């Protein structure tokens, strides 16, 4: 759930921020002891502090993004750069792009490269997303009341394999007063959270709206009761965590009359480190090379995250 101010990387916090921006129309360590598990609020506060602190990392990743919605499916290759996120569309509804679609995608990226004004706008949007999500995550300790609900094992894509995940139930804190419309969505959520007890990081949040919630204090619209989301992240190696799954299902109203219907599922996989200080243009070229490699070796697309990370980021001797 780290938030990357430089490029608003795909992380747990960003996933929550994308959700809030979508519905609001905002143009939006050491092993845990038994006492830690018995003090859920303290554990959440430590985990949230680590999530926010992780925004200072300068490690970039390249990964695969598979998105399923009511309009069909899209597959993208994505890389984080110093300028902004680069996403290269490589498949629609399980099929490679046609020559015409591929040309249109290349033209779109080239326009961004050639238009510094549009590039600045994209970078600004991503920075604002990062700032909003920092506020959302920072509100977790105060916005909810927590109680311990057992444990679960960490696994690939959810925490770290072999780590113990502490399960906490959460519900709205009646004493919490959201300081802005950004945090207002938290007042209607309840569900469960998994926290990696070793690394003090949030591995999963499963939340449901238990009441209708207005955003923009009801002026911009509302979300219906029963909306549901799942956000999941995992350890990519050497303490770097990234989002691995995002599942959203919400309905509501926006701007008094527009019907909202958000039903999307995204799976992020095949993570591997990307060069530091990569420019947007260099990121585009890197993704095009990756696309060509995948076309020549389709089996590479099924290589697991663990295999990629262990090959690309070998641990120091003795670890």
Per-residue pLDDT for 217 more than 60?
no
Q: State the pLDDT at residue 105.
A: 98
Helix (H, G, I), strand (E, B) or coil at 268: strand
pLDDT at 267 exceeding the cut of 50: yes
Of 199 and 15, more confident: 199
Q: What's residue 36's pLDDT?
A: 43
Q: How far apart are CA 217 and CA 212, in angstroms?
A: 12
pLDDT at 11 over 90: no
pLDDT of residue 9: 38
Residue 41 Cα to chain centre, angstroms: 23
If one compares 303 and 90, the residue with the highest pLDDT of the two is 90
The CB-based long-range contact list for 221-226 (8 Å cut-off, 24+ gap) reads 221/23, 221/24, 221/25, 221/252, 221/253, 221/254, 221/255, 221/256, 221/258, 221/260, 222/252, 222/253, 223/23, 223/185, 223/188, 223/250, 223/251, 223/252, 223/260, 224/250, 224/251, 224/252, 225/188
What ranges do the domains of the chain cover?
Answer: 12-312
pLDDT at 58 over 50: yes
- At 298, the pLDDT band (50, 70, 90 cuts) reads low
- pLDDT per position as a tens digit, 104-138: 999 999 999 999 999 999 999 999 988 888 888 99
> What's the pTM value of the predicted model, to 2 decimals?
0.81
The pLDDT assigned to 25 comes to 41
The answer, yes or no, to whether residue 318 has pLDDT greater than 90, is: no
Across all residues in the chain, what is the average pLDDT? 83
């Amino acid at each position: 759930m780290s938030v990357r101010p430089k490029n608003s990387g795909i992380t747990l916090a960003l996933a929550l921020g994308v959700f809030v921006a979508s519905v609001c129309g905002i143009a939006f360590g050491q092993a845990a002891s038994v006492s830690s598990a018995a003090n859920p609020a303290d554990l959440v506060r430590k985990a949230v502090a680590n999530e926010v602190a992780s925004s200072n990392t300068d490690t970039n990743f390249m990964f695969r993004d598979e998105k399923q919605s009511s309009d069909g499916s899209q597959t993208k290759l994505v890389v984080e750069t110093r300028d902004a996120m680069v996403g290269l569309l490589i498949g629609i509804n399980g099929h490679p792009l046609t020559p015409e679609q591929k040309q249109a995608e290349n033209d779109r990226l080239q326009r961004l490269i050639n238009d510094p004004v549009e590039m600045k706008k994209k970078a600004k949007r991503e920075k604002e997303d990062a700032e909003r999500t920092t506020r959302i995550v920072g509100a977790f300790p105060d916005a909810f009341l927590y109680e311990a609900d057992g444990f679960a094992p960490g696994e690939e894509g959810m925490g770290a394999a072999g780590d113990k995940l502490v399960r906490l139930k959460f519900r709205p804190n009646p004493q919490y007063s959201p300081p802005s419309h950004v945090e207002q969505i938290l007042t209607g959520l309840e569900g469960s959270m998994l926290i990696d007890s070793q690394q003090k990081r949030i591995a999963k949040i499963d939340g449901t709206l238990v009441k209708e919630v207005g955003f923009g204090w009801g002026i911009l619209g509302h979300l219906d009761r029963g909306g549901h989301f799942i956000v999941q992240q995992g350890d990519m190696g050497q303490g770097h965590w990234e989002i691995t799954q995002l599942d959203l299902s919400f309905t509501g109203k926006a701007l008094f009359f527009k019907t909202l219907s958000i039903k999307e599922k995204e799976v992020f996989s095949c993570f591997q480190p990307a060069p530091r200080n990569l420019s947007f243009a260099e990121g585009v070229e890197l993704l095009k090379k990756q696309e060509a490699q995948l076309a020549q070796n389709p089996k590479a697309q099924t290589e697991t995250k663990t295999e990629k990370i262990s090959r690309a980021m070998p641990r120091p001797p003795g670890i």
